[in-house]
Amino acid sequence: MPNEKVTQFAAQFRDPKDLKRQSNPNLQEMTAALDGLRAMGAKGVTGLVALLKPDAEGGDVHVRHALHGQAMRAGGWPEKDRQAFTKALAGTLKEDHPKSAKGFVIRQLQVAGGAEVTTALGGWLLDDELWEDAAQALLAIGGTADQFLKALPKAKGKQQLTTVQALGVLKINNAAERIRGFVTSGDSTLRQVAARALADMADTGAVATLLKAADTSKGFERIKQTGACLQLAENLLALGRKEEASRIYQHLRDTRKDPAEAYIREAAKTD
């Protein structure tokens, strides 16, 4: 049974189409509704989630608006209150709700969640429908390497691309050895994502692998693999690893003889 009080509060959030038609929607009413929902504690959160409908059904614009409005406010609350909100929200992922509704909940955790919800989110990294939402939430929250490292061995296809890219963004060096193997995979997209991830994490052990991948690939992949080499060199320089960076630059200067790649030779001149 829907919580009547929650339903009433959510009804204060009109369809933005209505806002367009009005010169001055009632900000006070909306704010009062969010205050009322907050005062209800976890029930205010679970009550809203219970009102979410599947994407294909619709009719819950006002509920989504209210829940998102609250998630955006939560970042400004005292830490204890924010965590109470996000824990209640994450708890609904265990309940029987439509997948698309859970996706929406995860996207609100991306806005307001912290370390307290990362385990709950990590469980969705290998889900057939929600892995991207979960990955993006975990990346936004940050400090979530464990979740991605745990998913990496089982991740396949697009989930694998997502996981490898995430480990690069988070600069998780202890995944480097495994990711180096992907640079020679049979999948061009995976090769490029893996090379960029290694560049992002400034993996000193990837210099030879990335140069070889850049030398042997063609077309757009050659462009991206060469880009990964230059990115790796810059990141190594930033860490003071001048010798490895110089090796990359020297190699690119020595091998890019085609006039069409003159700009690469120029880009590899760092001094």
Q: Which residue, 105 or 120, is less far from other proteins as judged by CB? A: 105
User: Which residues, at least 6 apart from 3, have a Cβ–Cβ distance to it below 8 Å?
Assistant: 43, 47, 50
Interaction residues for other proteins, span 15-44 (CB under 8 A): 15-17, 19-20, 23-25, 27, 30-31, 34
Select from 38, 102, 180, 224 the one that contacts other proteins (CB under 8 A): 224
Tokens 């600069």: give the residue.
171
Select from 69, 91, 98, 123 the one that contacts other proteins (CB under 8 A): 69
How far is 28 from 92, CA to CA, in rounded Å?
29
Q: Choose among 98, 23, 37: nearest CA to 65.
A: 37
* Minimum distance, C-beta of residue 251 to other proteins, in the bound complex (Å): 16
Interaction residues for other proteins, span 127-186 (CB under 8 A): 132-133, 135-136, 139-141, 158, 161-162, 164-166, 168-169
End-to-end CA distance of the chain: 70
Segment near other proteins (CB under 8 A), from 89-97, 102-110, 171-179, 245-253? 102-110
Interaction residues for other proteins, span 201-220 (CB under 8 A): 219-220
Q: How far is CA 46 from CA 43, 89, 90, in A?
A: 5, 7, 10
| Total count of residues recorded for the chain | 271
81 part of the interface to other proteins, by CB under 8 A: no
- Rg of the chain's alpha carbons, rounded to an integer? 24
Q: Name the helix (H) or strand (E) containing 45.
A: helix 42-50
* Minimum distance, C-beta of residue 132 to other proteins, in the bound complex (Å): 6
Q: Structure tokens of 20?
A: 């367009």
* Minimum distance, C-beta of residue 91 to other proteins, in the bound complex (Å): 20
Select from 42, 88, 111, 237 the one that contacts other proteins (CB under 8 A): 111
Select from 97, 196, 211, 232 the one that contacts other proteins (CB under 8 A): 196
* Minimum distance, C-beta of residue 69 to other proteins, in the bound complex (Å): 3
How far is 79 from 198, CA to CA, in rounded Å?
35
* Helix, strand, or coil (residue 177): helix
Q: Which residue, 1 or 70, is less far from other proteins as judged by CB? A: 70
Interaction residues for other proteins, span 243-262 (CB under 8 A): 259-262
How far is 135 from 126, CA to CA, in rounded Å?
9
